[in-house]
C-alpha cells in the first residue's frame, strides 16, 4: 500500500483543530505539508513543532474567502516541493442561529468560507492535478451535511453543498483524480468560537465537552483515505462519537 512519504499536502484551516491534527499526523508519516490559515503566529508555531520532530512544513497566511490566497498557497507548494498531491479543504465556520434572528451577515460568512472557499481551492488545484495527471481532493463536510436541525439550517446547507460539489467533482474527475468527503460529527475543536449567538455557543461548547472526539480521530481517517492505492477512491467517511445520535 502506498504510504505518505514525500506526498505534498496543502491544508486550509491548518492552525487548529482538525487541520492542525492532520498536519502533525501526515508530517509524522513523511508528508510535506503546506499550511494555510489566517493566524500567522499559530502557523509559525505549528511549522516549528513539525520541524522539531523531523518533518517538513511551509506556511502562508491564507483567507479562503480570497481566491488569490488559495492560488498563492498552491503556488507555494509547487515552488517549494515541485508538485501538489493533495488539497485538504478544511477551513470552515459555524455561526449557527435560528433563522428568525436574521443574522444575515453570519449566513453570508458561512457561504463565503464553507462554500466559496471550497470552490476557490478547487479552482486553484484542479488545473495542477490535470496537468500532473494525478491528485486528491479531501473536503471536510459534516454530519450536518446529512441531516439538519433547528439553528443549523444555513450551516447544514453549506455542508450539503460541500457534499454535492464533491460528488460532482468526483464524477467529472476521470480515472486519475480522487475525491474524498470527510463528514465529522462532534469534534473537540474551536468551531464554537465562530458562533455569534452566545446561548447557542454555550450549548454547543457544552455538548462538545460532553461527547466530542479528539481531532486526531479525524486526522487518522484522512490519512487512511490518502494511503489507499492510486486506483482506490475512498469517496466518503462519516465519523462521529459513539454517543452522537
Closest to 5 measured CA to CA, from 35, 47, 33: 33
Q: Radius of gyration of the chain from Cα atoms? A: 17
Active site residue 120: no
Instruction: Write down the catalytic residue from 59, 81, 120, 155.
Output: 155
Q: What CA–CA distance (Å, rounded) separates 48 from 106? A: 34
Nearest to 214 by CA among 39, 21, 4, 5: 21
Catalytic positions = 155
Amino acid at each position: 500500500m502506498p504510504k505518505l512519504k514525500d506526498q505534498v499536502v496543502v491544508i486550509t484551516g491548518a492552525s487548529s483543530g482538525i487541520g492542525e491534527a492532520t498536519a502533525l499526523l501526515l508530517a509524522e508519516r513523511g508528508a510535506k505539508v503546506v499550511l494555510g490559515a489566517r493566524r500567522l503566529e499559530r502557523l509559525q508555531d505549528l511549522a516549528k513543532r513539525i520541524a522539531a520532530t523531523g518533518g517538513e512544513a511551509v506556511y502562508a497566511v491564507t483567507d479562503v474567502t480570497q481566491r488569490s490566497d488559495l492560488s498563492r498557497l498552491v503556488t507555494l507548494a509547487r515552488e517549494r516541493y515541485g508538485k501538489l498531491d493533495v488539497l485538504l479543504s478544511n477551513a470552515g465556520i459555524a455561526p449557527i442561529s435560528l433563522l428568525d434572528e436574521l443574522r444575515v451577515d453570519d449566513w453570508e460568512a458561512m457561504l463565503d468560507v464553507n462554500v466559496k472557499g471550497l470552490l476557490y481551492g478547487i479552482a486553484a488545484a484542479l488545473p495542477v492535478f490535470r496537468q500532473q495527471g494525478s491528485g486528491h481532493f479531501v473536503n471536510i463536510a459534516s454530519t450536518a451535511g446529512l441531516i439538519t436541525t433547528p439553528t443549523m439550517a444555513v450551516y447544514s446547507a453549506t455542508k450539503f453543498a460541500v457534499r454535492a460539489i464533491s460528488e460532482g467533482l468526483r464524477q467529472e474527475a476521470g480515472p486519475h483524480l480522487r475525491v474524498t468527503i470527510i463528514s465529522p460529527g462532534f469534534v473537540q475543536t474551536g468551531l464554537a468560537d465562530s458562533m455569534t449567538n452566545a446561548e447557542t455557543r454555550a450549548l454547543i461548547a457544552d455538548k462538545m465537552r460532553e461527547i466530542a472526539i479528539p481531532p486526531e480521530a479525524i486526522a487518522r481517517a484522512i490519512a487512511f483515505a490518502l494511503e489507499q492505492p492510486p486506483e482506490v477512491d475512498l469517496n466518503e467517511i462519516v465519523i462521529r462519537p459513539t454517543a452522537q445520535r
